A and B are shown apart, each in its own frame.
Chain A
């Protein structure tokens, strides 16, 4: 009984070991972390280098999961068939034929689940009422289609806009300054987006416009949160036009904030009321208007 521990320690007495003996058992065990939500897998290994000092090696690799398929026996057999035709003598060129989309494609739902097409969800919802009433008020200023889409959503907005038809265009905040310029300087070049009658809500300033239209900023997101998650979180409140999560280009990790744009301001306000301070993925979300409200 007393000899047993003695024997054990003697086994591990490194001083008595030969030079070329494997000392690996002295090292901490190999650690494999992940793959995490981003598919980032970290392997931490330890080994002795030539000088005999301990070195920690951290290997980070990205694991891409392909859809797993259960194959039956015949299908397994077919896997081992030799390639034929043009595929037989291809190597690198062949693998270039197939690639995984870099873009995340969603099954885009035409409306929020739980709502019906022909049923206005709330009495005060202007959008659904417009859509319901034959879209009389919803007239696209670019292509004059009634009730089909809003001007900002017009599929033809990038095409040549017909001029001289927007006499009764509702004045926007910037009209006073912008429309004065083309009126005075006739000879000077005026970009098409600034010309009288041009659709300013959809033209060149489209990017900026889009970002501040009923935009809601979501901060304190967890790193695993992706755009589809935000979409899932926000679309019960109403039609969402855009979801964006800031992603660090280097690490591919989320930077912890994002933006959600709603079609209607009421929906956005409701989302803010409901989700500000909401616990999501162990973090408490902060949801607010992206730009200070002009009041």
Chain B
């Protein structure tokens, strides 16, 4: 395959997200402008100007009309996807790290980092149909869920009943989305040993995949939080994604960004590694980035995937036909 290279960002990529129809790709980077691309040919369609800090995460509504972004400028912003206009800005007192729309797009979960005296927090906001009616009040705030540790990702569980979070303390937690009660958490024995960097839900919300700096990615049951599979990579994992079409998971990473310049680029293993989801065996690797992979996303049709790296490039890969009948 010949990947399409998209050089729209001047700084490292942080997050990639396809819309539900798979025709658009949203990219976030440490420069301040999330960007919209066409997912088939990689043409840039627009940029969302307004943030004043690194953009860490984004999510797009099911009908592809709204975009929510979380940024280090201590805001999370709602955007009109079509025009690029900012509709609303949620202000926090610390950087917003992760955002996720609920099923139905009526709620959004936003996590904020520990900052100054503030501890990390999970906020649930109601998203109004009409941006005029949008209010910034939180429906639910989980203060201090992990103390001084950062929460890197929080997503909605099945039917919006729960919120799953993971972060620097390497423990995954499931919260009740109504009451904010802690329902389940992983113990140190089976769970990750180091910071959880990424979390990706399956298409049907039945299970999810987490990547961690302990060089593994783990597959969990969404309801019971039981460990299903572990995929070992030789390098810290920064990004994970699951194929919606085949039983494949793809994990990406590489050594810490600060150590990149001190070693040969071949030593870094900056490839997106494909694993068989069930057999936990490595299928293959896709090379190309000149730095660690920070973001991975599968197109909802499972026929292409994109990766974003510390090198500022988004690489959009359309699979060759032989990918679809790979045998172990």
Q: Which residues of A contact B (CB under 8 A)?
A: 66-69, 71-72, 74-75, 78-79, 81, 83-88, 90, 94-95, 97-110, 113-114, 117, 155-156, 158-159, 228, 232
> Closest CB of chain A to B72's CB: distance in Å?
20
> Closest CB of chain A to B130's CB: distance in Å?
21
Please report the C-alpha to C-alpha distance between residue A67 and residue B139 in the assembled complex, in whole angstroms: 44
Contact of B39 with A110 in the complex, beta carbons under 8 Å: no
Binds A, one of B45-53, B100-108, B184-192, B219-227: B45-53
The 8 A CB mask of B255-287 against A (1 = contact, 0 = none) is 000000001101100010010000001111111
**Closest 7 pairs (CB-CB, A-B):** A85-B47, A155-B267, A84-B84, A67-B318, A69-B40, A75-B23, A107-B284
Please report the C-alpha to C-alpha distance between residue A88 and residue B328 in the assembled complex, in whole angstroms: 46
Whether, in the assembled complex, B6 has its beta carbon less than 8 Å from a beta carbon of chain A, the answer is yes
Q: Which residues of A contact B49 (CB under 8 A)?
A: 85-86
Contact of B43 with A105 in the complex, beta carbons under 8 Å: no
Q: Which residues of B contact A69 (CB under 8 A)?
A: 22-23, 39-40
Please report the C-alpha to C-alpha distance between residue A83 and residue B47 in the assembled complex, in whole angstroms: 9
Please report the C-alpha to C-alpha distance between residue A113 and residue B281 in the assembled complex, in whole angstroms: 12
Whether, in the assembled complex, B1 has its beta carbon less than 8 Å from a beta carbon of chain A, the answer is yes
> Closest CB of chain A to B282's CB: distance in Å?
5
Q: Which residue of A lies closest to B265 (CB)?
A: A155
Q: Which residues of A contact B322 (CB under 8 A)?
A: 232
Contact of A108 with B286 in the complex, beta carbons under 8 Å: yes
Whether, in the assembled complex, B158 has its beta carbon less than 8 Å from a beta carbon of chain A, the answer is no
Within 8 Å by CB of A66, from B22, B40, B46, B48, lies B40
B interface majority secondary structure: loop
Number of interface residues of B (CB under 8 A): 59
Q: Which residue of A lies closest to B282 (CB)?
A: A110
Contact of A84 with B47 in the complex, beta carbons under 8 Å: yes
Contact of B6 with A86 in the complex, beta carbons under 8 Å: no
Contact of A110 with B7 in the complex, beta carbons under 8 Å: no
Contact of A98 with B4 in the complex, beta carbons under 8 Å: yes
Contact of A88 with B288 in the complex, beta carbons under 8 Å: no
Please report the C-alpha to C-alpha distance between residue A84 and residue B79 in the assembled complex, in whole angstroms: 12
Q: Which residues of B contact A75 (CB under 8 A)?
A: 21, 23-24
Whether, in the assembled complex, B17 has its beta carbon less than 8 Å from a beta carbon of chain A, the answer is no
Contact of B44 with A110 in the complex, beta carbons under 8 Å: no
Q: Which residues of B contact A232 (CB under 8 A)?
A: 322
Contact of A84 with B46 in the complex, beta carbons under 8 Å: yes
Contact of A87 with B64 in the complex, beta carbons under 8 Å: no
Q: Which residues of A contact B328 (CB under 8 A)?
A: 113
Contact of B46 with A98 in the complex, beta carbons under 8 Å: no
Assess A101 versus B323: contact at CB under 8 Å? Given A67-B318, A85-B49, A113-B328: no
Q: Which residue of B lies closest to A109 (CB)?
A: B284
Assess A71 versus B284: contact at CB under 8 Å? Given A85-B33, A86-B33, A107-B274: no
Q: Which residue of A lies closest to B20 (CB)?
A: A74
The residue among B22, B84, B327 with the most chain A CB atoms within 10 A of its own CB is B84
The 8 A CB mask of B174-187 against A (1 = contact, 0 = none) is 00000000000000
Contact of B327 with A98 in the complex, beta carbons under 8 Å: no
> Closest CB of chain B to A64's CB: distance in Å?
9
Contact of B47 with A86 in the complex, beta carbons under 8 Å: yes
The 8 A CB mask of B10-33 against A (1 = contact, 0 = none) is 000000000001111000000001
Within 8 Å by CB of A100, from B5, B36, B45, lies B5
Within 8 Å by CB of B84, from A67, A85, A95, lies A85
* 20 residue pairs from A and B, CB less than 8 Å apart: A66-B41, A71-B40, A74-B64, A75-B23, A78-B64, A84-B47, A86-B47, A87-B47, A90-B44, A94-B43, A102-B2, A103-B2, A105-B1, A107-B283, A107-B319, A108-B271, A108-B284, A110-B284, A155-B267, A156-B264
Q: Which residue of A lies closest to B318 (CB)?
A: A67
Q: Which residues of A contact B254 (CB under 8 A)?
A: none
> Closest CB of chain B to A157's CB: distance in Å?
8
Please report the C-alpha to C-alpha distance between residue A155 and residue B39 in the assembled complex, in whole angstroms: 34
Assess A101 versus B4: contact at CB under 8 Å? Given A86-B47, A108-B286: yes
> Closest CB of chain B to A161's CB: distance in Å?
13
Q: Which residues of B contact A87 (CB under 8 A)?
A: 35-36, 44-47
Q: Which residue of B lies closest to A111 (CB)?
A: B282
Q: Which residues of A contact B24 (CB under 8 A)?
A: 75, 78
Please report the C-alpha to C-alpha distance between residue A83 and residue B38 in the assembled complex, in whole angstroms: 11
Q: Which residues of A contact B281 (CB under 8 A)?
A: 117
Q: Which residue of B lies closest to A68 (CB)?
A: B40
Please report the C-alpha to C-alpha distance between residue A85 and residue B79 in the assembled complex, in whole angstroms: 12
Assess A72 versus B42: contact at CB under 8 Å? Given A98-B5, A107-B284, A108-B287: no
Please report the C-alpha to C-alpha distance between residue A105 and residue B282 in the assembled complex, in whole angstroms: 17
> Closest CB of chain B to A178's CB: distance in Å?
25
Q: Which residue of A lies closest to B40 (CB)?
A: A69
Please report the C-alpha to C-alpha distance between residue A95 and residue B288 in the assembled complex, in whole angstroms: 21
Please report the C-alpha to C-alpha distance between residue A109 and residue B276 in the assembled complex, in whole angstroms: 12
Q: Which residues of B contact A74 (CB under 8 A)?
A: 21, 63-64
Q: Which residues of B contact A107 (CB under 8 A)?
A: 1, 274, 283-286, 319-320, 323, 326
Contact of A98 with B2 in the complex, beta carbons under 8 Å: no
Q: Which residues of B contact A78 (CB under 8 A)?
A: 23-24, 64, 82
Contact of A83 with B46 in the complex, beta carbons under 8 Å: yes
Whether, in the assembled complex, B77 has its beta carbon less than 8 Å from a beta carbon of chain A, the answer is no
> Closest CB of chain B to A278's CB: distance in Å?
20
Contact of B288 with A105 in the complex, beta carbons under 8 Å: yes
Assess A84 versus B288: contact at CB under 8 Å? Given A69-B39, A99-B5, A100-B2: no
Q: Which residue of B lies closest to A66 (CB)?
A: B41
Please report the C-alpha to C-alpha distance between residue A132 and residue B47 in the assembled complex, in whole angstroms: 52
Q: Which residues of B contact A110 (CB under 8 A)?
A: 282-285
The residue among B23, B35, B266, B327 with the most chain A CB atoms within 10 A of its own CB is B23
